Structure 1
Amino acid sequence: MSSDLSSFLGDVSTSLLWLLPFGVFGIVSWSFWLIRKLISASTKPVVNDYRTTTTVVVPSYHEDPAVLLRCLETWRRQGPSRIVIVLDVADTEAQQLIEERGYPEVDVIMFKHRGKRSALGVGIRAATPSSSCSSTPTPGGRRGCSTPSRCPSSTPPSAR
């Protein structure tokens, strides 16, 4: 009887031997999780005086005004510093409805759309006048950003 039992256990162990790598992988994975959990529980968040602003730039081309207003309300609940909506020149109904709301942090720009990329560019330039990038020369004759450290295209070609 004991030989039958040992024979059975031997057969089971050889047939289940292929599961061993999965068990080892599970132990290693859960060990990493436990280590990360312990480390994160022992650290505190960094508290400092750094604050920044956020501007949401939205290109809109013949969007349903009701949908756009619902989206505007959700964006405002997130608390950005500014919301710039770039509407197509034909979207006068949406412009009127947004401007009726009188939100001081919302700017509406009417623009003849030539695609999403061009509308985003207009909105980004309107959102960041002090550090905007441009392909047109600045008063000093330079192309690129007004803040050189923020724009890779402001590096002269000879320095690249």
Structure 2
Amino acid sequence: MLKRFAILITFVFSVVLIYEVYLSKENEIAKDTKWHGLKKDIDKQVVGTPVPERINKGQGHQHEHGHKAPRENQNRMPASLQEHSPFISDAPEWKRDLGEELLQSEDSDAEVYIKEEKRISKIEHNKMNHYRHVTIQILRTHSPNTSYEALIDQNGKVTKTWARTKFEPVGENSEVYIEL
């Protein structure tokens, strides 16, 4: 009986010892890593940089380095692009033309609504390009409605789209859709 008790005590202590060694190795590995999922385990610090005071045009003196004070109505475009117009010239009937182009691939019961959000000017390939950021809604009676955002160039053509409504068929027949 005493022999069985000694074997049982030895077995229990060996299991506890193996478990403690296993946990200590896991803790060492966890201490070495600095990432936990998608969040870094370091405090974020925001450091500001000092900005020198602005000298107004009326003060009439120069900066310490010999530069003149900045002008108030200074054009911020690069010198090579200043001959281009900074605004989009209003293309006549661009919404109607775009709507007709979008309706060509739709059924006869579809309606298109275009809402201009804002105008954007981008420098691409050393040229100033002007775009319109629009929201396009397509309403249908026999199939799901959809909407998306797009960039429209100066010619009224869609150059980029995003935020499109996605639908998935539900059930045995594919006539029922849910919006994702």
Superposition TM-score tier, normalisation by shorter sequence: under 0.3
The structure richer in strand per residue is 2
Structure number with larger C-alpha Rg? 2
TM-score by length of 2: 0.24
The structure richer in helix per residue is 1
Bigger RCO (CA 8 Å, 6+ sep): 1
